[in-house]
Each structure stands twice: as C-alpha cells, then as structure tokens.
C-alpha cells in the first residue's frame, strides 16, 4: 500500500517537472489562441443554463438533452467520442482530455444516458511513464493544453482513473450533482484552480487531485467519508481546507508537500491520520479540530504524519495542543 502511494507520487512529481518546461510552448502557440475564442462562447452557454434553471425551472434533462418540465435544451459540445456500455446500456465519453476549450458533456447520446467520462487508457499511462525517461521532448505528444474547462451533466456518475491527468490547461471543472466516484489520479497534475466536489461523491481515488499546483480552493462535499492516499499531495497553492463532517480518516500522504497550507479544519469524527499526511506542510500553523482535546489525543496518528509540518497549534473545543503535544485547557 505505502509503496504504491509513493510510486504514484513520484510519477506525478516527475511528470509535472517535465511539463513545466513545456508550458511556454503550449501558451504561445497560435492554435491555443484560436481555441480560446470558441471556449468563451461555449462556457457562456453552460453558465446561463445553470442560472436560468435556478430561477425558472429545476431542469430534469432526459437522454435527449431536453428538459421534461420546461422543454429547454441542454447545450453540449458536439463531436465527442462515445462508447456504449452494454452492462448499463448507457454511453461513456472516451478520450475527453483530448478535446479543446470548455467542453460540456451531454446528458444523453442516441437516446441513452451518458454516465461516465474516461481519458487516458492504462496503456497510454504506461507509455507516458516510459516516455518520461526520455525527457520533455519525448513527453510532448502526451501533453494536452487545449482542454480548458469541463462541465458534466447530472447523469454522469463516474470519472474514470487518470481521466484528466496532465491536463495543464484545464482550469475549471463543474461536476454534476449525480457524480458518485472520482477515479484514481483523475485530475492529477492538472491545471485546476478551484474545485467543488458535490455532496453526491462518496469515493475519491488516490491522488485524485495530486500535484494540482494551481489549485487554490477546494470544497469537499458531505458524501466523502475518507480522504485517500495522496489525494491532495503537492497542491502547493492551497492555503486552507475544511474536511467535512462525515470524514473519519485522512490517508497516507493525503496533503504531503502542500507547502502553502496554513490552516485546516478537521471534524470530530476523524479516528485516524495516515503516515505522511501533513509531511512537508511547512507553513501549517493552524489546525482546527472540532472535538475535545481527549478526542484529538485518541486519533490514531501513524508514523511521520506531521514530519516537516509547521509549528502548528491544534485548537480543540476545550483547549489547545501544540506540535510537541503540550496541552493548554481553556479556562
Ligand atoms: Zn426545465
């Protein structure tokens, strides 16, 4: 288990370092500029749909992308690649990371709901790992900057493993209200700047948001019960985060090397914090724990969970605990 997480992390870090060298090429290309024009238009359409829905109709879109209540049409990006899943008789969108601009996924395709999105295949990930040995030039073919935003309909329940990994142009992701699972490394090394994880999500894969260096804002929904291994590793721009009430465990290296993290709120129900969870969070000074000092002391804290963390103070309901374990009870 631990070995695997370390492998994930080193892959993410290795690839990110390489990709930084390429960032300039992607940004300055004429192709990137022209893509920008059409993105804005598509993004605008998606946004206004949501606002109108709030005011006039709680849309219920069908697999024909029409609201069964008011007749509005869900505007989506044409020309995506679909595959019928025989088991569920629904469609999956494949290779979505290779699309351009702000992509809106439809509710349905050919009269059947779209329930999942996928990106890189296992073979492609393997190729990337092998290519990474050859340096940035060898990796160039794999880096996709043209996808800038993604909007998923409520029909999508699953984002596959590695789906948006390495999508450094991807700044925003609007996840639908039906989403339940986010795959392993799904947004790893992407350019996400903020993310709202809906309350429907119950499963987040290891390293799902690992090495999102531009990620400044994370809202974790109420359906999440554990923060898995390396989930937010090396999110260096993240300054604070609130772990929601239902969470009981914080995994191995969950926030390792989040060097900008200064404060974190941890719910009273947490019973274990994994090895390396806050390793190298050098600026971490403020841990808000929503339970008693005794409950904080009872949490199983594994190995070097706070090695390299800042000189933090844990503020509990009835007192504080410093990094060395010294307790001061409130008067
Ligand atoms: Zn409607």
Sign for the pseudo-dihedral over CA of 130, 135, 136, 138: negative
Mean pLDDT of the chain: 86
Average pLDDT on 12-29 reads 36
What is the mean predicted confidence (pLDDT) over 33-59?
46
pLDDT in tens, 63-75: 999 999 999 999 9
SS3 per residue for the chain: CHHHHHHHHHHHHHHHHHHHHHHHHHHHCHHHHHHHHHHHHHHHHHHHHHHHHHHHCCCCECCCCEECCCCCECCCCCCCEEEEECCCCEEEEECHHHCCEEEECCCEECCEEEEEECCCCHHHHHHHHHHHHHCHHHHHHHCCCCEEEEECCCCCCEECCCCCCCCCCCCEEECCCCCCEECCCCCCCCCCCEEECCCCCCEECCCCCCCCCCCCEEECCCCCCEECCCCCCCCCCCCEEECCCCCCEECCCCCCCCCCCCEEEECCCCCEECCCCCCCCCCCCEEEECCCHHHHHHCEECCCCCCCCCCCEEECCCEEEECCCCEEECC
- Mean pLDDT computed over 217-243: 98
122 C-alpha to ligand 1 centroid (Å): 39
The answer, yes or no, to whether residue 23 has pLDDT greater than 50, is no
Of 2 and 170, the one with more pLDDT: 170
pLDDT at 131: 81
The mean pLDDT of 158-187, rounded to a whole number, is: 96
Distance of CA 103 to the CA centre of its chain: 17
**What's the average model confidence in pLDDT over 178-183?**
98
Distance 56 CA to ligand 1 centre (A): 7
At 55, the pLDDT band (50, 70, 90 cuts) reads low
What is the whole-number distance in angstroms between the Cα of residue 74 and the centre of ligand 1?
9
How far, in Å, is the centroid of ligand 1 from the Cα of 250? 40
pLDDT at 129: 76
For the segment 123-136, the average pLDDT, to the nearest whole number, is 81
Residue 53: pLDDT over 90: no
Summarised one tens digit per residue, pLDDT across range 288-315 is 999 999 999 999 999 999 999 999 999 9
Confidence of residue 240 (pLDDT cuts 50, 70, 90): very high
- pLDDT tens for each residue of 243-280: 999 999 999 999 999 999 999 999 999 999 999 999 99
Fold that domain 2-54+61-238 belongs to in CATH = 3.80.10
Tens digit of each residue's pLDDT (9 = 90 or more) over 100-123: 999 999 999 999 999 999 999 888
Q: Is the pLDDT of residue 136 over 50?
A: yes
* pLDDT greater than 80 at residue 18: no
| CB-based contact 252:229 (threshold 8 Å) | yes
Give pLDDT, residue 39.
33
- Of residues 323 and 129, the one with the higher pLDDT is 323
How many angstroms separate the CA atoms of 181 and 290, rounded? 27
Tell how far the Cα of 52 is from the centroid of ligand 1, in angstroms. 9
pTM value is 0.84
Percent of the chain with pLDDT over 90: 74
pLDDT on residue 138:
72
Residue spans of the domains in the chain: they are 2-54+61-238
Q: What is the pLDDT of residue 62?
A: 98
Task: Output 159 or 40, whichever has higher pLDDT.
Answer: 159
Confidence of residue 144 (pLDDT cuts 50, 70, 90): low
Q: How far apart are CA 129 and CA 70, in angstroms?
A: 49
CA distance 125 to 118: 13
Distance (Å) from CA 40 to ligand 1 centroid: 24
Ligand 1 center to 179 CA (angstroms): 20
Residues with CB under 5 A from ligand 1 (ion): 57, 59, 67, 69-70, 72
């Amino acid at each position: 288990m631990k070995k695997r997480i370390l492998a994930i992390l080193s892959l993410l870090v290795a690839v990110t370092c390489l990709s930084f060298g390429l960032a300039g090429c992607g940004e300055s290309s004429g192709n990137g500029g022209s893509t920008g024009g059409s993105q804005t238009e598509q993004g605008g359409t998606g946004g206004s749909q949501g606002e109108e829905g709030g005011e006039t109709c709680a849309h219920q879109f069908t697999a024909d992308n029409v609201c069964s209540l008011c007749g509005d049409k869900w505007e989506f990006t044409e020309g995506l690649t679909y595959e019928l899943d025989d088991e569920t008789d629904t469609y999956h969108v494949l290779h979505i990371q290779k699309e351009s601009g702000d992509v809106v996924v439809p509710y349905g395709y050919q009269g059947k709901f779209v329930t999942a999105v996928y990106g890189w295949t296992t073979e492609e990930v393997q190729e990337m790992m092998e290519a990474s040995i050859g340096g940035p030039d060898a990796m160039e073919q794999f880096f996709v900057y043209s996808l800038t935003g993604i909007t998923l309909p409520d029909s999508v329940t699953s984002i596959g493993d590695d789906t948006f990994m390495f999508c450094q142009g991807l700044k925003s992701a609007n996840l639908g209200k039906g989403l339940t699972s986010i795959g392993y490394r799904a947004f790893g090394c992407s350019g996400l700047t903020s993310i709202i994880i809906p309350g429907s999500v119950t499963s987040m894969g290891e390293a799902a948001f690992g090495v999102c260096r531009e990620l400044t804002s994370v809202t974790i929904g109420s359906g999440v019960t554990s923060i898995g291994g390396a989930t937010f590793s090396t999110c260096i721009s993240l300054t604070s985060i609130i772990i929601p009430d239902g969470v009981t465990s914080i995994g191995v290296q969950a926030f390792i090397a989040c060097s900008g993290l200064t404060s974190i709120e941890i719910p009273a129900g947490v019973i274990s914090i994994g090895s390396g969870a806050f390793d190298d969070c050098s600026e971490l000074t403020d841990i808000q724990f929503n339970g008693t000092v005794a409950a904080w002391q009872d949490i199983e804290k594994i190995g070097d969970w706070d090695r390299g963390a800042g000189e933090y103070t844990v503020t509990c309901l009835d007192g504080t605990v410093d990094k060395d374990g010294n307790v001061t009870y409130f008067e």
